[in-house]
Amino acid sequence: MARPAAKSREPRRDARIIKSRQALQSALLDLVSEMPFEEVTVAAITTRAGVGYATFFRHYPTREALLAEIADQLIGELLHLIAPLVLANASRAAALALTRFVEARRPLCEALLIGAGDAMRRDITARAIAAANSADALFPGWLPRDLGVVHSVAATLTILRWWLEQDWPQDAAAVADIIDRLVFGPMATAPQDLK
């Protein structure tokens, strides 16, 4: 009899874990839209999330770890959005989808690429490279795939960071044009490359 009771408690525990993690993620997203990431404290996150301070550390060792989990989700959403465009050789459309995606999530992207520091930027780059490696993107035949992935991700993130740091931000279409001309367009596969 004790065994069925334990099973019935397990889903509730999982539901509480999921609910706490979602509340912490949502709180961090709200806070980075109000202030730079470096000013966000664990206490502010837990207060906004409505969870205890110790609860935070049951889920994440640091606020950077929470931000990294959010980054993984963001990278996954982004790849889902632009991968079909990249595979269709629609480099301009892929670049525009990317910049509009970033523009719609500007505070979070600023936190990831600027506010969280060099270590987080390296981590985001590594995560994006790993995610891109798992995608089915094609590269020109003359370019080793692993080099194409590293170059594309690093160059794109550098351009996005530059854009987010501007005092007079350019619109998404202008930045998409830059990304397409410098990164996506040259990496697009031409029909003769597919032979």
DSSP labels, 171-187? PHHHHHHHHIIIIIHHH
Rounded to two decimals, the pTM is: 0.77
Q: What is the residue-averaged pLDDT of the chain?
A: 83
Cα radius of gyration (the chain): 20
Q: Which of 77, 176, 67 is nearest to 121 (CA)?
A: 67
Q: 67 near 112, Cβ under 8 Å?
A: yes
Calculate mean pLDDT across residues 102-128. 83
- Between 118 and 60, the higher pLDDT residue: 60
Per-residue model confidence (pLDDT) at position 194:
44
3-state helix, strand, coil in the chain (%, to 5): 80, 0, 20
Sign, Cα dihedral of 63, 53, 44, 48: positive
* 177 has pLDDT over 80: yes
Per-residue model confidence (pLDDT) at position 74:
86
* 48 has pLDDT over 90: yes
Contacts of 124 (CB under 8 A, 6+ apart): 68, 71, 75, 112, 113, 157
Least confident residue range of 51-65, 108-122, 174-188: 108-122
Residue pointed to by tokens 């830059």: 178
